[in-house]
Amino acid sequence: MSKTKKIKKATNREIEAIKTLFLEHYPNSVTELNYTNLYELLISVMLSAQCTDKRVNIITPALFDNYPNVVALANADINRVKEYIRSCSFYNNKAKNLIKMAQFVIENYNGEIPLEQKKLIKLAGVGQKTANVIMIEFTGANLMAVDTHVFRVAHRLGLSDASTATKTEEELSRKFKTDLHLLHQAMVLFGRYRCKAINPDCEGCFMTPYCKSKERFKV
């Protein structure tokens, strides 16, 4: 994890303006991952760690066809699972975690994937960010999740100078307070398509008045 560069912090007035602009430009933002139920969403989010949503969407149709539920996945042969997700980063660990996750859901949650942050975090391969993304997407929970895009955008706009994703999440939650589920996805999309790590598309950007830096801010 790289050290973050200290930048000028956004004022309370700027924070409100930034929040308003994000909600105006991304009023109904949702994940770009393809899923039809909670099981598929959980797997997609787990696979998306350090892997593009586009790649995950290519991988998952065959995976879901062969393992349509937690029972099928819990009894899967790990080498077959690896073959389905081989083009995804860290596929060895992800295959192990997918099977362990399914087994844990059956053994501890009666085969029902929980929709509580603390219970989700107990699943293999599911950290706070993944749990929050599940809650945000599936329930519209007022939570913030910080991936590499959100981290970069938050620091470029002076919304946070924290060195970790967790601390950045706390800062954003405290400053924005409401509509966190929409703001999370808005910042993801903004970071993915406009405020990119390399060669950000700054010309005509609606956030130009509030931009403090073009540093990469990797987490």
Residue 175 zone, left/alpha/beta (φ > 0; ψ -120 to 50; rest): alpha
* Residues labelled catalytic: 129, 147
Q: Which residues contact 128 (CB under 8 A, 6 or more apart)?
A: 117, 121, 145, 166, 169
Residue with tokens 């987490």: 219
Q: Nearest Cα to 70, choosing from 34, 88, 43?
A: 43
Q: What element of type H or E holds 12?
A: helix 12-25
Q: Please give the Cα distance from 116 to 3 (Å, whole number).
A: 32
| Helix, strand, coil percent content, the chain, rounded in steps of 5 | 55, 0, 45
Q: Residues 210, 46: contact at Cβ < 8 Å? A: no
DSSP E strand boundaries for the chain: none
